[in-house]
Amino acid sequence: MQFEQLKTPNGQTMEGPLLMTPKCFGDNRGWFYESWSRRSFDNAVGETVVFSQDNHSRSIQGVLRGLHYQLAPEPQAKVVRATLGAIFDVAVDIRSSSPTCGAWIGAELSAENKAQLWIPEGFAHGFLTLSAVAEVQYKARGFWNKACERALRWDDPTLAIDWPQGELNGNTISLSPKDAEAPDFLSAKTSGDLFP
């Protein structure tokens, strides 16, 4: 497994998230790859990570889920991958003390490239479905807790996320009612809904 730090659009390296790309072995019979190894993963992130639950979602093209996060006492970290189709996956740094607070990184995750994104606590997460259908699976550290759950607006001009809407073949962004009503980054900051 190869682990890579990603850069923000302005070229800053963002500490925390890691793009994980496995080595795939294949021939005319099919392929095999190791999708996760505790030893290599814990070495790469510098801590022992114990996951609490696995989640699986299915979305049609244009569905945007996010930007979601949970605050203390039950923050969540995730390892995200697409096992069918393709998504554009985004992490936004919402750690107030971070030099990249308010910045974002993004990567295409697909069944074809088999890449995964580690998103630690302190980041908001969202993805846009690029293919006709995509299935996303992720491991989560920390259980879902409605009282801790928060969201940020996907099209917040302060965050200025460059979602690849040109890849939607004319389809428009589709949001849940909750995501459509999410506050912007500055409102969340003012109300104390960011990480320290």
Annotated catalytic residues are 68, 138
| 58-75 CB burial, b ≥16 within 10 A, e <16 | ebebbbbbbbbbbbeebb
**Whether the Cβ atoms of residue 63 and residue 55 lie closer than 8 Å to each other:** no
Burial of 84 (0-12, 13-18, 19+ CB in 10 A): middle
Residue 98 tokens, joined = 């971070």
Closest-CA residue to 96 (of 69, 123, 73, 60): 123
